[in-house]
């Protein structure tokens, strides 16, 4: 009996130690991601009309390079550049539209039904390019973002300037949410954040032209070699921290920042899910989020 009690105590202590280690890792990841947010962001006048953030890549600056991060190109032309700088980080928060049209934080493990509407708020800790791909039941991938109908097909993100996908200020209601249809299935979203544009993936004018001339082939489908690269990067280790606050509404500060191109500060809510690469030399971060799409009226086993 004494041995059993001792064993139970040891197992309990081991479990407590694991929880402590997990909590410490979460705190370290949050700290590494949020520390690059500014302590304060100048407030814009309420009289200033909203300005839609521009997602097209900035024009290159020539003749004098700015001192700072040193960019090292890989020998392989199809791989992004490596940069000696902070680890790449990506923050995601999933919102679901309630019956009143409000955006409420939702856990990705929620079981979605036909007619449910969701939107992601995305934040990065560095300047770069974001791509979002989707597969249903492990089928052929399609590219959801960049989108020729949104942001002039641009996908350039600035550090800690959040963005909604889809955008709540899109011209048409159908473009403001991702909507679940009547076809149940396992939806998998791939978020690809990179310091340099992905080779072989059209965006901006190239994507607009492609979809204009090949309407039947849009949404765009990545070639096998591109998808193989993305799948390989998905196996790379990431440090992850989660902070679930389901049911809480998107704040006015988050909405204003996302729709006006304003940076978040350290007092603003943190993303529900934060992912960091484990190496500063990595120029590419790939993460996947699974969404469960149930048929109307079905129940989980």
Residue in 275, 235, 236, 241 with CA at minimum distance from that of residue 21 = 241
Question: pLDDT tens digits for 280-296?
Answer: 999 999 999 999 998 77
Coil/strand/helix, residue 298: coil
- Ordered by start, the domain boundaries in the chain are 80-293
**13-24 per-position pLDDT tens digit:** 555 455 566 677
Cβ–Cβ < 8 Å for 58, 155: no
Q: Closest Cα partner for 147 from 122, 176, 123?
A: 176
Average pLDDT over residues 161-176: 86
Look up the pTM and report it.
0.81
Assign 168 to helix, strand or coil.
Answer: coil
Rounded Cα distance between 207 and 221, Å, is 11
183-196, pLDDT tens digit by residue?
888 999 999 999 99
């Amino acid at each position: 009996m004494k041995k059993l009690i001792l064993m139970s105590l040891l197992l309990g202590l081991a479990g407590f130690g694991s929880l402590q280690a997990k909590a410490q890792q979460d705190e370290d990841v949050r700290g590494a991601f949020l520390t690059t947010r500014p302590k304060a962001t100048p407030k814009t006048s309420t009289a200033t009309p909203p300005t839609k953030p521009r997602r097209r890549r900035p024009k290159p600056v020539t003749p004098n390079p700015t001192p700072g991060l040193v960019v090292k190109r890989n020998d392989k032309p199809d791989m992004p550049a490596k940069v000696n700088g902070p680890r790449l980080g990506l923050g995601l928060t999933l919102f679901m539209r309630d019956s009143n049209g409000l955006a409420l934080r939702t856990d990705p493990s929620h079981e979605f039904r036909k007619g449910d509407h969701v939107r992601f708020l995305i934040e990065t800790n560095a300047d770069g390019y974001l791509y979002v791909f989707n597969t249903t039941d492990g089928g052929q991938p399609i590219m959801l973002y960049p989108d020729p109908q949104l942001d002039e097909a641009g996908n350039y993100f600035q550090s800690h300037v959040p963005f909604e996908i889809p955008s709540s200020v899109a011209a048409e209601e159908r473009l403001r949410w991702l909507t679940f249809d009547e076809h149940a299935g396992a939806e998998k979203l791939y978020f690809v954040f990179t310091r340099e544009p992905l080779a072989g993936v059209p965006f901006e004018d190239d994507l607009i032209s492609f979809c204009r001339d090949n309407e039947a082939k849009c949404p765009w489908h990545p070639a096998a070699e591109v998808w193989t690269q993305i799948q390989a990067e998905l196996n790379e280790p990431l440090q992850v921290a989660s902070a679930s606050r389901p049911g809480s509404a998107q704040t006015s500060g988050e909405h204003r920042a996302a729709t006006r191109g304003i940076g978040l500060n350290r007092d603003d809510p943190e993303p529900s899910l934060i992912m960091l690469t484990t190496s500063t030399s990595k120029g590419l971060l790939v993460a996947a989020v699974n969404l469960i799409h149930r048929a109307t009226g079905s129940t989980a086993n």
